[in-house]
Amino acid sequence: MSRGPLAGTRVVLLAGAGPAPFAGMLLRDLGAEIIRVDRPGSDKGVSGLPAHLDSRSQGVRAVTADLKSDEGRDVVRRLVATADVFVDPYRPGVVERLGLGPATLCAAHPTLVYVHMTGWGHEGAWAQRAGHDINYLAVAGALHPTGPADRPPLPPLNLLADFGAGGTYLVMGVLAALLERTRTGRGAVLDVAMTDAVASLTTLLHDMRAAGLWSDERESNIFDGGAPFYRTYRTADGGFMAVGAIEPAFHAALLATLGIDPAGWPQHDRSRWPDQRRELARIFASGTRAEWEQAFDGVDACVTPVLTPGEAPGHPALASRRTFVDSGGRPAPGPAPRKATR
């Protein structure tokens, strides 16, 4: 079996929370060798999880080095001498003061892909400011649209800025830099900021807003729960069903399955949306989640159950393609993307 497209690629990353270890996991799944430099005295993985329970630490070679000492910094320099990628997850200026900045390491190793991974960017007015996923979402304009209109915005866990934006865009930048290196023979210095990446993810929202198709009023738009055909509904047993019937054919299938006359149910008349939401809430509350799953089984209406993290690995759609794999006796998400079978 192939070891992956990045087999033979070595990545050295300084231990840190957030997107850097997640990006390391993605690069590992693509075949790269990951070496993480830990601080002395730490016997845990990242984010306080024991290493054996942290999927981001599996298959990672951990090296302990005190970067405040000459010996520790020499450990990093020796590792970088044989590395293709180096990831710095600290605030701007920290590694430079340690003598491990790009001016030093890239000068000694011109083919190195050097990555600064920060929240606000390696430069800019807030470069030195502390922050977390929720803060980057808030300032980038991605937090305000979330949640019900009569409540404060709800953070989508830490999935968006940390992982969906920061970690994924880090990997995209590294892959592009490695590809460019094959043509130029030279590495690169990347400035990956979670706020930049989150803003990039909101491109469609800004396009819709410019076209007059998006309002800054929360829960009044198609994708923020305002549309009755794109939101979740509680079932009789306390579960939830997710409805994403945007396209006309899916919307028609939704109405047909629920026994609603489409003649009196215009899809895009926003003045009717509040009443339609209330009616769909009443209908879905009349049956259990299992009953609605059965009703929509085989119906192309984009209606699915809302599963807990504990339920997801056992769902037939995911189990049939081994989306989750066994990791020491517990289910864990498998690598993605994967090569298709021909």
Q: How far is CA 180 from CA 27, 113, 185, 192, 288, in A?
A: 17, 10, 8, 17, 54
Q: Which residues are catalytic?
A: 132, 162
From 293, 229, 232, select the one nearest 262 (Cα to Cα). Answer: 229
Backbone angles phi, psi at 262, to 5 degrees: -65, -20
3-state secondary structure of 181: helix
Q: How many CB atoms are located within 10 Å of the residue 115 CB?
A: 26
Q: Do residues 75 and 133 touch, judged by C-beta distance below 8 A?
A: no
CA 23 to CA 29: how far, in whole Å?
10
DSSP 341: P
Distance CA 94, CA 313 (A): 41
| Beta bridge partners of residue 13, listed in sequence order | 36, 87
Other beta carbons within 10 angstroms of residue 245's beta carbon come to 22
Buried (b) or exposed (e) across 123-136, using 16+ Cβ within 10 A? eeeebeeebbbbbb
3-state secondary structure of 303: strand
CA atoms of 80 and 84, how far apart (whole Å): 8
